[in-house]
Amino acid sequence: MIPSAFEYHTPTSVAEAVSLLEQYGDEAKVLAGGHSLLPAMKLRLAAPGVIIDINKIAELRGVVINGNINIGALTTWSTIEHHGGLKSSCSMLPEAVAQIGDIQVRNRGTIGGSLAHADPAADTPAVVMALDAQIRVHGPGGERMIAAGDFFTDMLTTSLEPTELITAITCNPLGAGEGAAYVKFPHPASRYAIVGAAVYVKLAGGTVGACRVAITGAGPKAERQTATEQAILNTDGSAEAIAKAAEEAGAEMDVLGDIHASEDYRRAMIKVYARRALTKAIERARG
């Protein structure tokens, strides 16, 4: 099917893009990698009157590691996957994006576009939540930072205002005693997560001093698992402690069932993949 007619704009700066968003409001859609927007337009599930193609905004591309990690919103999955600095400072990121789609998808898809779309089965929402990342956005009033935990509000819905544009994602590199891991049960065709688990841990004196666990794919949005986090804190991170904490995963979630997996099956897999991610993250924290 052919998309309905639309105006097409190619801003070359963030300020110009924000100005266009302010001018056209709800009538406009931002085009980044296009893997979500273009299929929806072809199926007439989306019919924006204005397309704002941000691919000419060079400042939105690239990874800078200088005290913290800054990833431009237009940085592709492939760039993240193969970035040596990310592999050494935050290996969960390149490992997670390497599991997205196929090479064509990773060569075109962008981290900012994925976060803005907020697909409930996407990988990166759980990853950025586990890393306690900050999402930098620009709007008519200037710049603001949104904590990843506050960004995803419902299915395909975020706290991003209609006139705001994601410009970067910022998080801290991992140091000694810290570990993070992402594991998922992928759909065999799309590679989206039927269930995915992202975990960050910090060990102090042989015990778990900090932990963040996020689940994607199972509900209408990625969610932190606070009961699991509390259950693993101040333990020795043993297999027994991990298994006990993983049993709490999913208890606070609204879990969905569909043709790919029932609600009961997803609830079972949440526990399985939480356990696997916790085990891997703690092993990494121990070095």
Note the pLDDT tens digit of each residue in 239-283.
999 999 999 999 989 999 999 999 999 999 999 999 999 999 999
Beta partners for residue 63, in sequence order: 71
In a domain, 2, yes or no: no
- Burial bucket for residue 141 (CB in 10 Å: 0-12, 13-18, 19+): exposed
The CA distance from 182 to 199, in Å, is 6
Q: Average pLDDT in the 7-13 region?
A: 98
* Predicted confidence (pLDDT) at residue 147 exceeds the cutoff of 80: yes
If asked whether residues 208 and 257 sit together in one domain, one would say: yes
If asked whether residues 124 and 158 sit together in one domain, one would say: yes
Nearest partner of 27 among 52, 10, 3, judged by Cα: 52
* Predicted confidence (pLDDT) at residue 1 exceeds the cutoff of 90: no
Q: Would you state the structure tokens that stand for residue 233, as one six-digit string?
A: 């804190």
In a domain, 261, yes or no: yes
If asked whether residues 165 and 182 sit together in one domain, one would say: no
Whole-number pLDDT of residue 204: 95
Q: How confident is the model at residue 105 (pLDDT cuts 50, 70, 90)?
A: very high
Per-residue pLDDT tens for 65-75? 999 999 999 99
Q: Average pLDDT in the 29-35 region?
A: 95
Whole-number pLDDT of residue 100: 97
Q: Average pLDDT in the 96-114 region?
A: 97
Residue 61 main-chain phi, psi, to 5 deg: -110, 145
Place of tokens 């927007």: 37
Whole-number pLDDT of residue 252: 86
Whole-number pLDDT of residue 104: 94
In a domain, 1, yes or no: no
Average pLDDT, the chain: 97
Whole-number pLDDT of residue 228: 98
Write down which residue in 115, 147, 171 finishes a domain: 171
Q: How confident is the model at residue 152 (pLDDT cuts 50, 70, 90)?
A: very high
Nearest partner of 201 among 244, 169, 223, 231, judged by Cα: 231
If asked whether residues 218 and 282 sit together in one domain, one would say: yes
Q: Report how far Cα 255 is from the mean position of its chain's Cα atoms.
A: 18
Write down which residue in 108, 142, 171 finishes a domain: 171
The boundaries of the domain holding residue 42 are 7-50
Domains: count for the chain: 3
If asked whether residues 273 and 213 sit together in one domain, one would say: yes
Q: Average pLDDT in the 192-212 region?
A: 97
